[in-house]
Amino acid sequence: MIQVNKLTKDFSLTRKQRKELGDEYKDTKTLRAVDDISFECQPGRIFGLLGPNGAGKTTTLRMVATMLKPSQGSISVSGYDSVSNGQKVREQIGFMTGQTALYDRLTPTEMVKYIADLHGMNKNEYQKRKNHLFDILDMHSFADRRIARLSSGMKQKTSIARTIIHDPPVMVFDEPTSGLDVMTSRAIMDLIRSCREEGKTVIFSTHRMGEANQVCDDIAIIYKGKFFYNDTLDAFKSEMTQATFEDEFIYRVGEA
Amino acid sequence: MKFLTIAKKEIVDITRDRRTIIMMIVVPLFLIPVLLGTVFKITKSMAEKASEKQLKVQFFGREHAPDLYRAFAGMDKVIMLDQIPVDSVESYIQEEYLDAAIHVGPAYQKNITDNRQAQIRIQFKGTDSFGSTKDRINGVLEEFENRIVAERMDRLNLKPEVVKAYNIAYEDVASRQEKFGKIAGGWFPYVFIIFGFMGAMYPALDLGAGEKERGTLETILSSPASRLDIVLGKFLVVLLAAFLTAFIALGGMFVGIQRISDIPAELIIVINEVLSPKTIGLIMTLVLPVAAFFSALLLGLSIYAKSFKEAQSIVAPLNIVIIFPAIIGTLPGMELNTVTALIPVLNVSLASKDIIAGVMNPFYMTEVYLSLFGFAGLAIFWCVKWFNRESTIFRN
């Protein structure tokens, strides 16, 4: 369960950044990346955070994963506050982005063991879980090969295994399919679905509306740091005035 | 204890990187002996060439000083010339066709006989390839002058003591170790410092900027490891790399010295005497905090960089910052004092000189250690603070 309450994030701007952003930011010293958003992600449901690039999706998810501290508001993950109890929050989370984020010089086994060790898993628990994941992901044939020498599909499988090795109750996916081919994207979408089936809380950010349509139970549309929609996917569909899901999204963002 | 998990993983990671291994082991272990050998070989062959060089000398006024001419003609490895016109001599010497021209005037013999000073003018090129012309000419002249003085004293019935009032006996109480320490002591820490820095550089770039570039930073930031665990784990590995490289460089130097046949045997005896385990141990206690200082500094800068390439360009100027004080420390006359003992890197160089020479001042040494550990502590503190800043780690 993730509960986000009146979350705001300001980034201070350097003079160079102010110049790059143009006249609008000439006199401001901060940029508001996330502006007073509140939402709730329930176990066994997939919450889709939709928005174009630069809308504030990654900042929001990084705050959920305690990488960034909120300027205002609060986040609670499985009952733990993200600021005062960051470590407990991180223990609950599996974090995945579009980059495979692997160490080329390690093997998949070593990579997965490293993350398991950071999560303080004991040997038996790790071995059992690792065998299970390597079975279902069919990773045994390349488990001890250096990651640098693996194909992108193998790397993606390794990335999945390291994200869920500690069986986290909360999964955070930050644009997990960006830059991936169709086959690997499908594997990720399957993973997201299976997380729901296992009763995990899933938050999933994307700018591809089709993906959200495929897997999400709840959606929120974020643009320039603000929420423009936050309800179930079904409710969104019933309120649609445009022909397609994508058209509706563009229409709503355009209105904003 | 998560920092140990991080350190363990980073060690496996960097030791599988060929570039790190080359920089940490191959370069210091093999490059130093090769460099040392080459330097000694070149120096030796230059000295040999200089002593074997045929000196080309033209003597003007041979008829006025036939004895002196014979003394020059009797020199070892000399060619006496007589064809060069006097007004072309300077250009011949400039072009190094001629090494020296000796000019003796018609009054020479009369002045010698009358117990007066005879004028001798010598043209030579002070910047010639070997720099030994003046010394060789002077050797002949001094010997000849001594002979003339002895004859004069004999003639005047005087004892040599009349013109040589002192009989000086110099007794140097400095030990061989002390002399060696003062002359060459500065170079030993120089090698440690440079190699320690080089050894730390690549792992620091890889563990900081490299992590950002691969996108793995988010993976560990979202793990239960705290920022302190992460930075401490990485710092320990960079420090270990720096320290090991410095230590291997020492090994390389030792191997180099033992294996190079061109080093005089007596120098090897002194080096072996000087480089006792105690001396090495003491120097390493200086290298450790200085290595910690630049490991933290390098890691902090590397974490700030957006990419490996940017990190390299940020860190490159630091080479000069490190090398400069290390070189100053090797200069003769540079000693530890209340100020130099506080300057990092320079104080390591100067303190090592004293350690090798066996003349340590407890007050300055305390100052050196306080300064080194102080700076190392500050650098680590800065690195941790820096790593905790969102604007540093998410700069991109």
Cα A206 off chain centre by: 9
Write down the pLDDT at residue A211: 84
Pairing state between β A201-206 and A170-174: parallel
- The phi, psi pair for A127, rounded to 5°, reads -60, -45
Query: Could you tell me the two tokens for B274?
Result: 């000087």
Its ipTM equals: 0.87
A11, A12, A90 ranked by CB distance to B223: nearest: A90
d(CA A54, CA A93): 24
Q: What residue ranges do the domains of chain B occupy? A: 2-37+176-393, 56-162
Rg (CA), chain A: 19
A12, A90, A99 ranked by CB distance to B222: nearest: A90
Q: Which residue of A has its CA nearest to B215?
A: A101
Mutation target among A69, A78, A91, A118 for the B interface, most CBs of B within 10 A: A118
A99, A101, A119 ranked by CB distance to B224: nearest: A119
- Contact, B319 vs B197, CB < 8 A? yes
Write down the pLDDT at residue B186: 67
Name residues whose C-beta falls within 8 Å of residue A243's C-beta, 6 or more positions apart in sequence. none
Using a CB-CB distance cutoff of 8 angstroms, which residues of chain A are in contact with residue B391? 11-12
Using a CB-CB distance cutoff of 8 angstroms, which residues of chain A are in contact with residue B222? 65-67, 90, 93, 95, 172
B9, A106: Cβ pair inside 8 Å? yes
Write down the pLDDT at residue A117: 94
Q: Which residue of A has its CA nearest to B3?
A: A118
Largest separation between any pair of C-alpha atoms in chain B:
101
Q: Tell me the mean pLDDT per 10 residues along chain B, length 396.
A: 92 88 83 79 78 86 90 87 88 88 91 89 80 83 90 86 84 76 70 84 90 86 90 93 87 75 68 75 85 89 88 87 80 83 86 82 89 89 86 76
Cβ count within 10 A of residue B209: 26
Write down the pLDDT at residue A179: 73
Cβ count within 10 A of residue A152: 12
Pairing state between β B100-104 and A201-206: unpaired
> B144-167 pLDDT, tens per residue?
898 898 888 888 888 878 878 888
In total, chain A counts a number of residues equal to 256
Write down the pLDDT at residue A149: 93
Write down the pLDDT at residue A252: 78
In total, chain B counts a number of residues equal to 396
In our burial notation (b when 16+ CB lie closer than 10 A, e otherwise), range B305-323 reads beebebbeebbeeeeeebe
Name residues whose C-beta falls within 8 Å of residue B47's C-beta, 6 or more positions apart in sequence. none
Using a CB-CB distance cutoff of 8 angstroms, which residues of chain B are in contact with residue A97? 215, 218
Q: Among the CATH numbers 3.30.1360.120, 3.40.1710.10, 3.40.50.2300, 1.10.10.10, which is that of B56-162?
A: 3.40.1710.10
Cα A36 off chain centre by: 19
Please count the residue pairs, one from chain A and one from chain B, whose beta carbons lie less than 8 angstroms apart: 73
> B279-324 pLDDT, tens per residue?
888 888 888 888 888 898 899 899 888 888 899 998 888 888 888 8
Q: Is the minimum CB–CB distance between B389 and chain A shorter than 8 Å?
A: no
> B17-29 pLDDT, tens per residue?
888 888 888 888 8
Q: Is the minimum CB–CB distance between A103 and chain B shorter than 8 Å?
A: yes
Write down the pLDDT at residue B172: 81
362-381 in chain B: CB under 8 A from chain A: none
B223, A62: Cβ pair inside 8 Å? no
Cα distance between the two ends of chain A: 29
Using a CB-CB distance cutoff of 8 angstroms, which residues of chain B are in contact with residue A11? 390-391
Q: Which residues of chain A have pLDDT under 50?
A: none
- Contact, A48 vs A210, CB < 8 A? no
| Amino acid (1-letter code) at residue B165 | A
- The phi, psi pair for A159, rounded to 5°, reads -65, -40
B2, B5, B12 ranked by CB distance to A106: nearest: B12
Topology annotation, domain A2-255: Rossmann fold (3.40.50)
d(CA B35, CA B191): 12
* Local structure of B77: helix, strand or coil: coil
Q: How far is A233 from chain B (nearest CA, A)?
A: 28
- Tell the burial category of A100 from Cβ atoms under 10 Å away from its Cβ (0-12, 13-18, 19+): buried
Cβ count within 10 A of residue A176: 27
Report DSSP state, residue B342.
G
- Contact, B128 vs B95, CB < 8 A? no
Mutation target among A16, A59, A117 for the B interface, most CBs of B within 10 A: A117
Cα distance between the two ends of chain B: 30
Using a CB-CB distance cutoff of 8 angstroms, which residues of chain B are in contact with residue A103? 9, 13, 214, 216
Write down the pLDDT at residue A167: 92
In our burial notation (b when 16+ CB lie closer than 10 A, e otherwise), range A185-199 reads bebbbebbeebbeee
d(CA A173, CA A159): 12
| Beta sheet of A30-41, edge-to-edge order | A30-41, A2-12, A72-77, A80-81
* Local structure of B157: helix, strand or coil: coil
Cβ count within 10 A of residue A230: 18
Q: Is the minimum CB–CB distance between A31 and chain B shorter than 8 Å?
A: no
B219, A115: Cβ pair inside 8 Å? yes
d(CA B335, CA A180): 62
Strand partners, B80: B57
d(CA B372, CA B349): 12
Cβ count within 10 A of residue B131: 12
Q: How far is B309 from chain A (nearest CA, A)?
A: 18
CB < 8 Å & 24+ apart, contacts of B333-336: B334/B186, B336/B361, B336/B364, B336/B368
Write down the pLDDT at residue B32: 76
Closest to B330 in 3D by CA, of B148, B190, B228? B190
Closest to B50 in 3D by CA, of B23, B87, B21, B76? B76
Cβ count within 10 A of residue A122: 8
Q: What residue ranges do the domains of chain A occupy? A: 2-255
Largest separation between any pair of C-alpha atoms in chain A:
59
Q: Is the minimum CB–CB distance between A62 and chain B shorter than 8 Å?
A: yes
Q: How far is B201 from chain A (nearest CA, A)?
A: 19
Query: Considering the entire predicted model, what is its pTM?
Result: 0.80
SS (H, E, C) chain A: CEEEEEEEEEEECCHHHHHHHCHHHCCCCEEEEEEEEEEEECCCCEEEEECCCCCCHHHHHHHHCCCCCCCEEEEEECCEECCCCHHHHHHHEEEEECCCCCCCCCCHHHHHHHHHHHCCCCHHHHHHHHHHHHHHCCCHHHCCCCHHHCCHHHHHHHHHHHHHCCCCCEEEEECCCCCCCHHHHHHHHHHHHHHHHCCCEEEEEECCHHHHHHHCCEEEEEECCEEEEEEEHHHHHHHCCCCCHHHHHHHHHHHC
Q: How far is A54 from chain B (nearest CA, A)?
A: 13
* Local structure of B114: helix, strand or coil: coil
Q: Which residue of B has its CA nearest to A64?
A: B222
